Amino acid sequence: MDTQSLDLSAVLERAESIARQAGALLREYFERPREANHKSTNIDLVTEADSASEALIVGALRAAFPDHHLHGEEGGGYGPDPDQTPYHWWVDPLDATTNFAHRLPHFAVSLALSDPDLWPLVGVVYDPMRDEMFKGIRGQGAWLNGRRLRVSGVTDLAQALVTTGFPYDRWTAEDNNAARVGHFVVRTQGVRRIGSAALDLCYVAAGRCDLYWERGPQPWDVQAGMLLVHEAGGRVSDYHGELTLEARRGHGILASNGHIHDQGVAVLTLGDAAPLPPME
């Protein structure tokens, strides 16, 4: 399907405006009394703010792009049949709902436009509490509040700050990422679990972190961020180093500055057998 005729700069401008509106709404909700409800498990939460933010975003995107299909985290699909359009929006109205529900001010709005094969074309991630707008266009670069994004220059995993997350089924799943965290703890300068996959990817793109991995995100969590990492000079893949469809879906994703990517793959695939940094 042809995706060459769309003015991506105009799309990005509209997406940024919508993300800022949703972010303002989330700020309004942040200090209100609220009750979080459970979705799939006791640790998979949804709040009134999630639903209100998605309603705002979906309404605005459908008005601006009526021939595009929308995949929303909370409400499912909107617009024309997904097989009948080359344009697919991935909407996360509130990434890091658990943080939000506990009044931890680290969450984001994430919007991405992709082709049918989940190759992202445009991405925005807005952190409303810091007023940080991460945005990018495929082949044209990525920016944070007008400043060009570039990944870090760290070349040794032992000098890296890395970040990760845990799947919602971590209480019961054998592959719950706990062992992998231990593998990275003894091979890096530090491991962080901040709670937002979208912002984790943005921080790799901005050089604030050097590597991110996780099993469990969905396309609306990662589509915008993976575009930003790529446009900032980084690399995105699955746990084996290939940019597969599953990686683009977020179902086992590794993102890095590129320099330490193969080292990250080694830790993910070899576990305890991966090389350790030399003792000084």
% of the chain beyond a pLDDT of 70: 90
Any idea which fold 8-148 has?
Fructose-1,6-Bisphosphatase; Chain A, domain 1 (3.30.540)
Residues 263, 266, 270: CA angle, nearest 5 degrees: 155
- DSSP letter at 26 equals H
Distance CA 81, CA 221 (A): 22
- Number of residues assigned to the chain: 280
Q: Which residues have a Cβ under 8 Å from the Cβ of 245 and sit 6 or more positions away? A: 117, 118
Please say if the pLDDT value at position 41 is more than 60: no
Distance CA 148, CA 143 (A): 4
CA 109 to chain centre: 10
Neighbouring C-beta atoms of residue 4, cutoff 10 Å: 6
What class does CATH assign to 157-273?
A: alpha beta
Please say if the pLDDT value at position 111 is more than 70: yes
- DSSP letter at 166 equals -
How much is the pLDDT for 72?
A: 87
Q: What is the pLDDT of residues 2-27, one digit of tens each?
A: 456 899 999 999 999 999 999 999 99
Q: What is the pLDDT of residues 161-174, one digit of tens each?
A: 999 998 666 666 67
Is pTM beyond 0.85? Reply is yes
Mean model confidence pLDDT for the chain:
92
Q: Would you list the domain boundaries of the chain?
A: 8-148, 157-273
- The pair of structure tokens assigned to 66 is 């009526």
Is the fold of 8-148 the same as that of 157-273?
no
| Inter-residue contact 66 to 76 (CB < 8 Å) | no
How much is the pLDDT for 43?
A: 39
